[in-house]
Structure 1
């Protein structure tokens, strides 16, 4: 059945099937259809060749394995500028659809023992360390979706609940601890200035009859805690697309890419001339990227946490007015 489904998928995409099962080798990477080639490049709204190649190869591999059951797949280029720069890609080859949208990158942390914080525009630091709040490039498959109530806020004078969905990613290799790190995708919205009001009739009231209230903040142009974040409008489309149909997410760069680019920069060589890819604008800004392995960074974070245990939880203050 898996073989039949894979061949059907290949037929829909209009490309030739690979010669056999197992991991797709470089020679098996399928030709990019002409309509998609028009979106390949390093310009605005385009996808870099290496990012598309790897994302497409991952998708076809997971279709073969029966883990991707969607006609679309995702990719992200974390070397591009954040803000409203379009660097997350929704590719639906069966429909000949290519959509580039904005997304955030991990903000990292600035600790006394190690500074691995990222700027708002360009990501310099990457890591798979738990607690690092950084992005990790590599291969993912979408898993379950969880929706939670964050609190109420006022919109056009009306009481509105913020229900934010979270799409869990499952990783492999450097990204294998994605579930432990709670890495996934969600809308770039949250509530600030939280307080509580008595509202026992609310379906979201706690056992004391209180509900949380706050001020809605959209941080689509900012950073995240390591997850992939989208605008609310784009998030709704993505969640509708992957409902009951898991697919793949490929995020560039991987740790090996980062190390090669860093080595080239330190040697005074142009990464592009060495056949390496990094967004030129961001590379000028960060000078050289850095990958912090979990083996190196997690002990530093653990020591920091031990020295600063979290304060005991307290109920939210009562809302005024």
Structure 2
């Protein structure tokens, strides 16, 4: 009888205080060897990096250096639990560029995956401020945390846009492919990478046969430039134009690592603790406090369960036939 009571109490303890999921294999579990100059940047304030994100990013980088996979003196990290759009034109700095050889640390803004709302079937959309939903499913437009290595850089012509009454500019955008492993292994299939947060909207075709980008009929795309640095992406990592130029230059023909927090195990562990009515920090887990207050609890959508839902939705709601790009009206 006494043994039965003890087992009952233990079972209740597990239900109320669920065990946290195991951390990634490359997460540093030993006392930190972070140098003093870098430790000065550790914290949860604006422009700082939290301990768990830094430890995992350093461990991933050191692992890939030891394997001979990267030789770049710098590595990247991102904390997607932090806020993005802070309002009044201010952006949260949550993407980190760390170069330990020259004691350099910088924090810049970066967008998160916007997700999707499948009209009552499944809602995994994210707001501009904080990300609630994460996942690695195809066509989900969600951020997937975990380990990445930067790959090749692709540069493509997007079109022209007006910069003044008598002057136009050309938008040529670079895209850095990410290669993942484990939960992020499908990054290339998902076309996940990093690029400037800018695009052209309201595109039409303008006659300009002298342009080196003109098609066989002498037309070029022309549209309105949109900067969405404070917005969301299709799951990629998007930076402001100026930051993107520096980051992309760093990894051109010289790959490095990127660690994005949180992973699926982190999301699930925090969700369980929140459901039990406890703050994550009490159990040694991390989530940005202000964003957790806003989203209440995060959710990870695994590809195994979400991809069939998306496929069925798109089968039931086929996209309309793509219309040809219209010809620009003369001003």
Q: TM-score, length-normalised on structure 1?
A: 0.91
Other-structure match for 2:4: none
SS in 1 for 2:233: coil
Partner Cα separation in structure 1 for residue 243 and residue 113 of structure 2 = 19
Instruction: State the shift of 1:29 in Å.
Output: 7.3
Partner Cα separation in structure 1 for residue 48 and residue 28 of structure 2 = 22
Partner Cα separation in structure 2 for residue 288 and residue 28 of structure 1 = 29
Question: Which structure: larger Rg?
Answer: 2
Query: 1:143–1:168: 8 Å Cα contact kept in structure 2?
Result: yes
Matches within 5 A, 1:68-217: 68-83=70-85, 84-111=91-118, 112-156=120-164, 157-217=166-226
Query: 2:26–2:56: 8 Å Cα contact kept in structure 1?
Result: no
Partner Cα separation in structure 1 for residue 132 and residue 295 of structure 2 = 6
Instruction: State the shift of 1:280 in Å.
Output: 0.0
Which aligned segments of 4 or more residues in structure 1 are displaced greater than 4 angstroms? 27-30
1:67 to 62, 66, 69: 69
Other-structure match for 1:226: 235
Q: 1:73 to 1:264 in 2, by over 3 A?
A: same
Instruction: State the shift of 1:277 in Å.
Output: 0.2
SS in 1 for 2:314: helix
Instruction: State the shift of 1:159 in Å.
Output: 1.6
SS in 2 for 1:162: strand
Instruction: State the shift of 1:310 in Å.
Output: 2.8
Partner Cα separation in structure 1 for residue 275 and residue 193 of structure 2 = 33
Give the gaps of 5 or more residues in structure 2: 1-24, 86-90
Partner Cα separation in structure 2 for residue 34 and residue 293 of structure 1 = 38
Partner Cα separation in structure 2 for residue 68 and residue 113 of structure 1 = 42
Q: Deviations over 1:30-76 (max 9, x none)?
A: 60010000100001100000000000000000011111120000000
Q: 1:277 to 1:318 in 2, by over 3 A?
A: same
Number of residue pairs aligned between Structure 1 and Structure 2:
299
SS in 2 for 1:56: helix
Query: 2:75–2:99: 8 Å Cα contact kept in structure 1?
Result: yes
Instruction: State the shift of 1:297 in Å.
Output: 0.5
Instruction: State the shift of 1:315 in Å.
Output: 2.1
Q: 1:29 to 1:149 in 2, by over 3 A?
A: farther
SS in 1 for 2:113: coil
Instruction: State the shift of 1:309 in Å.
Output: 2.3
Give the gaps of 5 or more residues in structure 1: 1-22
Partner Cα separation in structure 2 for residue 289 and residue 314 of structure 1 = 38
Instruction: State the shift of 1:189 in Å.
Output: 0.3
Q: TM-score, length-normalised on structure 2?
A: 0.88
